[in-house]
Amino acid sequence: MNANQFETLITELFPGITPEQISQFIEAEKAYREWNEKINVISRKDMDGIFAHHLLHSVGIAAYAGARLKGKNILDVGTGGGFPGIPLAILYPDSTFTLCDSIRKKTLVAENVAQSIGLKNVKVVNCRAESLPERYDWVVSRAVASLSDFLPWVKGRYKEGILFLKGGDINPEIAAAMARYKLPKGSVKSWKLTQCLKQEQFLGCEDDYSWFEEKFVIEL
The residue type of 219 is E
The residue type of 167 is G
Indicate if the pLDDT at residue 47 is higher than 80: no
Reported as a single tens digit per residue, the pLDDT across 99-147 is 999 999 999 999 999 999 999 999 999 999 999 999 999 999 998 889 9
The pLDDT-based confidence of 42 (bands split at 50, 70, 90) is: confident
Indicate if the pLDDT at residue 28 is higher than 90: yes
Indicate if the pLDDT at residue 17 is higher than 80: yes
Reported as a single tens digit per residue, the pLDDT across 162-190 is 999 999 999 999 999 999 999 999 999 99
* b/e map 118-136, b = 16+ CB within 10 Å: ebeebebbbeebeebeeeb
Alpha helices in 80-146 (DSSP H): 85-91, 104-116
Indicate if the pLDDT at residue 29 is higher than 90: yes
The SS3 call for residue 147 is helix
Indicate if the pLDDT at residue 206 is higher than 90: no
Indicate if the pLDDT at residue 200 is higher than 90: no
Q: Using alpha carbons only, give the angle 62, 67, 68 rounded to the nearest 5 degrees.
A: 90
